[in-house]
Amino acid sequence: MERNFKDSRGIKVGKYFIPSVLLGVCMGLGFLFFSPQFERVSPVVKFKQSEFWNMKDNLEIELSDNSKLTSYKITYIDEKGEKVLDEKALATPISKISLKLAPPKLDNIQKESQVKIIIEATDDSRWGFLTGNTTDNTYEVKIDNKAPITSVVNNSRYIARGGSALVVVKVADENLKNAYINFSDKMNFELIPFHKKNYYAAIIAWDINIPFESFTGANVVAIDKAGNKSSAKIPLYIQDFAVKNDNLNITQEFIDTVSKTVLENMNEEVPQDLAARFVKQNRELRAKNIAKIKQVSLKNIKKDMIQDFRPEAFVRLQGSQTAAGFGERRHYFLDNVKIDEAWHLGLDWASVKNDSITISNGGNIIFKEYLGIYGNTIIINHGLGLGTLYAHTTNQFINIGDKVVKNQKIATTGTTGAVLGDHLHFGILVQGIEVNPIEWMDQNWIKTRITEILDASKAIIDQNP
């Protein structure tokens, strides 16, 4: 019995002992394998440096790990040798660390040289013979500590609030990222390649929304891919603009018919309250329509190098009277209560119904669409960021993409949009901003402020290659 028992037990052990041990070992290994303490993911490095480094900005490095970091080391290597920028063994391991490392203080940095940044980090995992997982990444960085060259070649001497000016500049950098003209710390104007490499021209505008007193100057600004930035001041004499204030009484009929139609045509909800409905049309919708004009104009700026730009004076609609001017500040009243105000930023020319609109300068049709308060609107691009806007039209004889020429009939006047009587709203656009058209209707102004500046600039550029 006893022997049998032993035997039977022996058989049982022999049959199941080894598989049980193997299973146990496997489960144990499995436990270790899936245990956070034995994770096998190396620390993650975020190196927030572009391909170029100006050796002024700190290197921004973020290290993280799903267990915890125990040590790291950041090394800078160039042709002359290496320098440890930071190295730490963390007494208390942490899961995430953000480093901002100052550039090494070196005597003479090799400009345009290629350097290496080595980032090593180790985590708290028991994996890898208890030494932890290690990351060892090498990043190649190009040194560029040279600021772009920026200088003003020539420009219109004057700019008036609401008006335009021309600027020609030189901008040069091997790794140029962006260059523009900043106006009064409020807005930027794009540069268009002009005449020769590294030279640019731009028509700039003083948006009438920027008050005379708050003008802070205009500058050409350039930034390279390493973050080096430079700027040069554009010398300008400034002139104020005499704003004309107008009080307008809005009738219930206007809000019932015109405001309602304009909002409906743009798929906007129509508020029941009369004042709210007018304000929505006059303020909200106007802002959207103005934003659209700017967006379309900027999208269509050509960046091909230009050699010449000689617009002729823009001419008033033949036989028309000017019904409203540029820079009128309109104050709107409903039942003797002021409900809103807005700028009028073009010239309203009224003559006979459905009068023919012919154009004074050739260009390209970049917009032909119903645009809220502007009604059926056409925009022509004349080059160098200059455009013209024709609003409230009835029939259009052109299409988007058409090249149009001087004296071409493009449309007829009408009453589409937020208007009562038949007229043409004519606007001049500088990079999509409505400016004072009176300047551009004056051939002498165009000559002294635009074409002579371009001609003189070419002579200066040709003397200084």
Binding residues (CB under 5 A) for Zn ion: these are 346, 348, 425
- The phi and psi torsions of 422 (rounded to 5 degrees) equal -65, 120
Residue 142 or 288: which CB sits closer to Zn ion?
A: 288
Q: Which is nearer to Zn ion, 132 or 437 (CB)?
A: 437
Q: How far is the CB of 391 from Zn ion (least distance, A)?
A: 7
Q: Reduced to 3 DSSP states, what percent helix, strand and coil does the chain have, rounded to the nearest 5?
A: 25, 45, 35
CB of 443 to Zn ion, least distance (A): 24
Classify the C-alpha dihedral 141-145-149-150 as positive or negative: positive
To Zn ion, the closest distance from the beta carbon of 424 in angstroms equals 8
For residue 463, the minimal CB distance to Zn ion (Å) is 45
Two tokens, residue 57: 């900005």
CA 459 to chain centre: 33
Smallest distance from Zn ion to CB 344, Å: 6
Query: What do you get for the CA distance between the two ends of the chain, in Å?
Result: 114
Separation CA 55–CA 132 (nearest Å): 33
Nearer to Zn ion, 173 or 348 (CB): 348
Nearer to Zn ion, 224 or 434 (CB): 434
- Beta strand extents in 269-344 (DSSP E only): 321-324, 328-334, 337-344
Length of the chain: 465
Closest-approach residue to Zn ion (CB): 425
Return the number of the residue (277 or 423) whose C-beta is nearest Zn ion. 423
Q: Is 327 helix (H, G, I), strand (E, B) or coil?
A: coil
Whole-angstrom distance, CA of residue 456 vs CA of residue 309: 13
List, in sequence order, every residue forming a beta bridge with 53; answer none if it has no partner.
143
C-beta of 196 vs 329, nearer to Zn ion: 329
Closest CB 348 distance from Zn ion, rounded Å: 4
Please say which residue, 45 or 345, places its beta carbon nearer to Zn ion. 345
181 neighbors 230 (Cβ within 8 angstroms): no
Least CB distance from residue 282 to Zn ion, whole Å? 13
Amino acid 28 reads: G
Q: Give me the sign of the Cα torsion angle 411, 414, 417, 423.
A: positive
Q: How far is the CB of 349 from Zn ion (least distance, A)?
A: 9
Question: Strand 199-205 and strand 164-172: pairing?
Answer: antiparallel
Query: Least CB distance from residue 324 to Zn ion, whole Å?
Result: 6
CB-wise, 309 or 390, nearer to Zn ion?
390
| Smaller CB separation from Zn ion, 286 or 425 | 425
Kindly state the smallest distance separating residue 346's Cβ from Zn ion, in Å: 5
Distance separating alpha carbons of residues 167 and 154, to the nearest angstrom: 6
417 contacts 128 by C-beta, under 8 angstroms: no
In degrees, rounded to 5, the angle at the alpha carbon of residue 62 between the alpha carbons of residues 51 and 79 is 45
| CB closer to Zn ion, 161 vs 425 | 425
Q: Closest distance between Zn ion and the C-beta of residue 425, in Å? A: 3
Residue 225 or 425: the one with the smaller Cβ distance to Zn ion is: 425
Query: Edge-to-edge strand order for the sheet containing 244-249?
Result: 244-249, 328-334, 337-344
Q: Token digits for 179? A: 């260059």
Residue written as token pair 């409906």: 264
φ, ψ of residue 428 to 5 degrees: the values are -105, 130
